[in-house]
Amino acid sequence: MSVNNRVRQWGFTLVELAMVIVILGVLSAIAIPKYVALDSEALTAAQQNMIGAVKSALAITTVDLGRYPTMSELAANTQGVSSTSTMDNYGLAINIDGTSYVVPVYINFDCTARVALASHSVLCVGDSALDWV
């Protein structure tokens, strides 16, 4: 009779560990691009939100003044994400997470002639993401 002196070993084989690493790699290859896309979607949503805020400020300021506001009056009545808005060439510069974006404003109703001076009356606010500088 022979006695089995082998001690039973516990653990994972190299093949099992390699399979786990491959599975984790495949899962991360699927999840990471979706997570990165969420960041750009959030920025686009914030930009569209700021366009809406400027349009609302234009409507409110127009009612308050009884006329269309100038660029500087609109800037004074528009609050951005950081509660600051400044005039830039052809629009209002709004700060979103430390980056400045320009919401274009126009001096005509069909949104084709951009405001060039702070004293010009604002009649239209751009609504296209392409207008962001």
Look at residue 87 and tell me if it is in a domain. Answer: yes
Look at residue 9 and tell me if it is in a domain. Answer: no
Residue 86: the pLDDT is 53
Look at residue 98 and tell me if it is in a domain. Answer: yes
d(CA 82, CA 92): 13
pTM for the model stands at 0.64
Domain of 50, in residue numbers: 14-131
Percent of all residues in the chain with a pLDDT value above 90, rounded to a whole number: 17
Place of tokens 């404003």: 105
Look at residue 2 and tell me if it is in a domain. Answer: no
Residue 130: the pLDDT is 46
Which amino acid would we find at residue 27? L
Look at residue 83 and tell me if it is in a domain. Answer: yes
Residue 3: the pLDDT is 57
Count of other CB atoms within 10 angstroms of residue 84? 13
3-state secondary structure 34-89: HHHHHHHHHHHHHHHHHHHHHHHHHHHHHHHHCCCCEHHHHHHCCCCCCCCEEEEC
Asked whether the predicted pLDDT for residue 90 surpasses 80, the reply is no
Asked whether the predicted pLDDT for residue 48 surpasses 70, the reply is yes
CA distances from 116 to 56, 86, 102 (A): 21, 14, 13
Which pLDDT tens digit goes with each residue over 67-85? 999 888 888 887 753 334 4
Count how many domains the chain has. 1
Percent of all residues in the chain with a pLDDT value above 70, rounded to a whole number: 81
